[in-house]
Chain A
Amino acid sequence: MITMLEAIRQAMRDELAADDKVVLIGQDIAEFGGAFKVTQGLVDEFGSERVVDTPISESAMIGAAIGAAMVGLKPVVEMQFIDFLACGYNQLVNFAGKMRYRWGQGASLVVRGPCGAGVSGSAFHSQSPESSYLCVPGIKVIYPSTAEDAYGLLRSAIQDPDPVLFLEHKFLYRRIKGEIGSKPIPLGQAATRRRGHGLTVVTYGAAVHTALEVAEQFGDQVEVLDLRCLLPLDEAAVFESVRRTNKVVLYHEAQKTLGMGAELSARISESLFEYLDGPVTRVAAPDSPIPFSPNLEKAWLPGSEQLAQACRQLLNY
């Protein structure tokens, strides 16, 4: 059993070993091993040519990764906190995300880093920014919830020919453990974490664990579907589950407005209207920055009580 953090490191280690085109780029990632120690030891194994420290220049880091990808490398760029990707938004969204469509040239690169709240990181070290990158074309988005998935999905992400944003919930880094496989896990396949017949909770990331806790309270009523990848999205798995349970709660830590839940809600309403036995329900974060002090942050987080309340209401509908 290894932690999710170790699983992520192992995925990078295995890819570095398997393919000499893979390089790691990031702030403090070489000798220091990264702010969260995700890359610890990799510079000793693979050398400072392949595990490369950079200045604090998120835009230049991603831009350079795009250039390096064009000449055949497979760069994996670490954001010290994924919030800082805002400083590299233009390179990722306007350069990497649009190039294949515009002129046929792709860029195989991964941007990865810690996201998510629950550790009093305040407004700039806690965000789940997936919506910002899903509402523009060209970037795949992965958000694993287990050590096994983190390993297998990161390996697939590194091998993928297109830009991938790989979100690692920092609350899970050392709190969950699991057995990892030795192979990549294909992108775009959701996983049913618990079977139920009364309603489906569609979720991903750290929220999967809260959903599983909550589902316990409802016996065999609540099904938990872990998306794992937000793009490519396993829409078929969502639809299959909702067709069976006829009720759905869309649950995530990111902001409710225009979040993943909003998109899924629209798709379910468009395609499964006649299957629904209750309102499509969302449990997600409020439209406010993430507060610092633990009590405030707890009040902000869409937690187990809110989810349980939503499940209860919908089951009784």
Chain B
Amino acid sequence: MTSEQKLQAYYFLKLNRALEERLLSFYKQNKVVGGLYRSLGQEAISIGSAMALQPQDWVAPLIRNVGAFLVRGYRPRDLFTQYMAKATSPTCGRDCNTHFGDIQRGVVAPISMLGAMIPVMVGVGWGSRMQGVDRVGLTYIGDGGTSTGDFHEGLNLASVWKAPMVLIAEHNQFAYSTPTSKQMAITDLVDRAKAYAIPAEIVDGNDVLAVFAATGRALEHARSGQGPYFLECKTMRMRGHAEHDDARYVPAELLEQWRGKDPIERFTRQLLDEFGFAPEQLSEQDERVKVLIEEDAEFADNSPYPDGSGALGGVFAS
């Protein structure tokens, strides 16, 4: 990362976290419709990976990849209004939380069924190459999602077709309440990739620089025609599955241990101590974050709900 990119990464990390903190306030005020899913502690993965994309690449973020939307140019208001079911949301209230996208921005909207995005992004990469377009498809999966049929079918097809696709597995240790040990008989998700002859790396998911660098390698591999690439980002889900879940099944000492590895605190220390940034440079970014969050929170709060007329139509092109 260049110095400029480092500052940008800092900005996005802080924006991601501030956005979710603001959403939490809305949630407590009963202004969020449905659940609130946090990426607390995992922000470095979305931001490091999305920042490594080229403009022509496409990404399919999942529920904990708010950061990828921000890097792709969406504003906090887009997430606020989605979560609050407002008429001004990207889907005009038709779908929830991170279920939105726009191929003009290279963002594919996810569906709730885990693993489903993998074959789709194989098709994005493969279909682009078919037309002579340089484009890699990137998507994410949690440790829980690696047990789905689509994960295995998708990776196998990607490998057979040598599709330009990158899959980032966020190993955050729990699938809702189920620890990895109850999900699979292996310790490292990269072992799954071996079965499909897909090169894979384990990455420190709480290190934004490491994620950025590894994603860069993965994208380069995929772009060069050598096929898909798999990254396992080790991390920890620091909240429940969603805010309604108090996650009492997570051992306190495990959370305590990971609290010391917070990706934002760590990167902040690095910027100051290792890379010689002045505290004012960071507080400038903090100020930008604050202003944008306030402006967009106000926009979302003041936005109307859709009236019923938007419920019908648009199932087919005509």
Contacts and interface: CB of A to CB of B under 8 A. Distances in A.
A73 B317 contact: no
A68 B124 contact: yes
Interface string B82-101: 00000000110011000111
B101 A67 contact: no
Given A100-B314, A162-B317, A60 B111 contact: no
B103 interface: yes
Contacts of B263: none
Interface string B113-146: 1001011111111111011010101000000000
A102 B99 contact: yes
Interface string A36-73: 00000000000001001011010111111111111111
Contacts of A67: 108, 119-127, 137
Q: How large is the interface on B (under 10, 10 to 19, 20 to 34, 35 or more residues)?
A: 35 or more
A167 B112 CA distance: 28
A69 B157 CA distance: 17
B116 A90 contact: yes
A138 interface: yes
A137 B157 CA distance: 28
Contact of B119 (A70, A91, A105, A138): A91
B316 A68 contact: no
Given A103-B91, A105-B101, A105-B109, A72 B157 contact: no
B149 interface: yes
Contacts of B157: 54-55, 57, 60-61, 64
A61 B120 CA distance: 9
A94 B121 CA distance: 16
Contacts of A66: 119-120, 123
Contacts of A94: 111-113, 116
A62 B102 CA distance: 20
A104 B314 contact: yes
Interface residues of A, number: 41
A300 B91 CA distance: 47
Interface in A290-307: none
A154 interface: no
Contacts of B252: none
Contacts of B118: 60, 63
B109 A102 contact: yes
B116 A101 contact: no
A261 interface: no
A106 interface: yes
A84 interface: no
Contacts of A91: 116, 119-120, 150
Interface centre among A59, A61, A100, A162 (most CB of B within 10 A): A59
Nearest to B124: A67
A67 B100 CA distance: 15
Contact of B94 (A49, A69, A102): A102
B185 interface: no
A199 interface: no
B315 interface: yes
A69 B127 CA distance: 8
Given A161-B317, A162-B317, A64 B120 contact: yes
Interface string A76-102: 000000000000001100110011111
Contacts of A102: 91, 94-95, 99-100, 109
A104 B101 CA distance: 9
A141 interface: no
A43 B94 CA distance: 42
A69, A98, A101, A138: most-surrounded residue (chain B CB, <10 A): A101
A62 B153 CA distance: 11
B120 A103 contact: no
B278 to A, nearest CB: 42
A55 B119 contact: no
B131 A72 contact: yes
B89 to A, nearest CB: 11
B120 A162 contact: no
B314 A63 contact: no
A140 interface: yes
Contacts of B316: 100, 138, 140, 161-162
A280 interface: no
A101 B153 contact: no
A137 B109 contact: no
A106 B317 contact: yes
B156 A71 contact: no
A165 interface: no
Interface in A256-279: none
Contact of A103 (B95, B126, B130, B153): B95
Nearest to A104: B314
Nearest to A102: B95
Given A70-B108, A102-B94, 18 more contacts: A55-B157, A59-B149, A59-B153, A60-B154, A63-B153, A64-B163, A65-B123, A67-B108, A67-B122, A68-B124, A69-B123, A70-B103, A70-B120, A71-B127, A90-B150, A100-B316, A102-B109, A162-B317
10 contacts: A63-B119, A64-B122, A64-B157, A67-B121, A68-B123, A70-B127, A75-B123, A98-B111, A106-B317, A162-B317
Interface of A: 21, 23, 49, 52, 54-55, 57, 59-73, 75, 90-91, 94-95, 98-106, 137-138, 140, 161-162
Closest 3 CB pairs of A and B: A67-B123, A63-B119, A68-B127
